[in-house]
């Protein structure tokens, strides 16, 4: 995520920046979503796209990570399945950003 923040700063913050939850729990400790997207209607398309990456073992990735994440965030947001995001501008209105120093 460090490179994303550098690009955002270098771009004069002219675009909105959202961070996507990668892996429920182990890679997103302290991840507190500001936004949710209901993916219930497109869940099967997402799975098909992930499963098409045979060399990445998409089925295992979905089963071990995404399924639980989608269900958990869906319960949090009141829908069947959701993806969660953190909107950077809502959290950091000053020039200080985590990981970049003061």
78-100, pLDDT tens digit by residue?
999 999 998 876 555 544 444 44
Q: Let me know if residue 34 belongs to a domain.
A: yes
Q: Let me know if residue 76 belongs to a domain.
A: yes
Residue 48's φ and ψ, nearest 5 degrees, are: -60, -40
Q: Let me know if residue 94 belongs to a domain.
A: no
Per residue in 53-82, pLDDT (tens digit) is 888 888 998 998 899 999 999 999 999 999
Task: Say which residue the tokens 């970049």 belong to.
Answer: 100
Q: What is the mean pLDDT of the chain?
A: 79
Q: Let me know if residue 5 belongs to a domain.
A: no
Q: Let me know if residue 13 belongs to a domain.
A: no
Looking at the structure of the chain, the number of domains it has is 1
Q: Let me know if residue 45 belongs to a domain.
A: yes
pTM score of the predicted model? 0.71
| Cα–Cα separations (whole angstroms), residue 102 to 28, 96, 98 | 23, 5, 8
Distance between CA atoms of residues 15 and 34, nearest Å: 17
CB 51 within 8 A of CB 59: yes
Q: Let me know if residue 1 belongs to a domain.
A: no
Helix locations, 1-102, DSSP H: 2-10, 43-51, 58-61, 67-77, 88-91
**Residue numbers of the domain that contains 53:** 20-87
């Amino acid at each position: 995520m460090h490179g994303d923040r550098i690009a955002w700063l270098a771009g004069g913050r002219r675009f909105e920046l959202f961070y996507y939850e990668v892996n429920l729990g182990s890679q997103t400790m302290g991840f507190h979503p500001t936004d949710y997207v209901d993916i219930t209607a497109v869940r099967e398309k997402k799975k098909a796209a992930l499963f098409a990456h045979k060399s990445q073992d998409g089925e295992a990735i979905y089963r071990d990570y995404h399924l639980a994440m989608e269900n958990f965030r869906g319960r949090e947001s009141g829908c069947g399945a959701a993806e969660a995001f953190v909107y950077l501008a809502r959290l950091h209105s000053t020039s200080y950003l985590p990981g970049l120093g003061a």
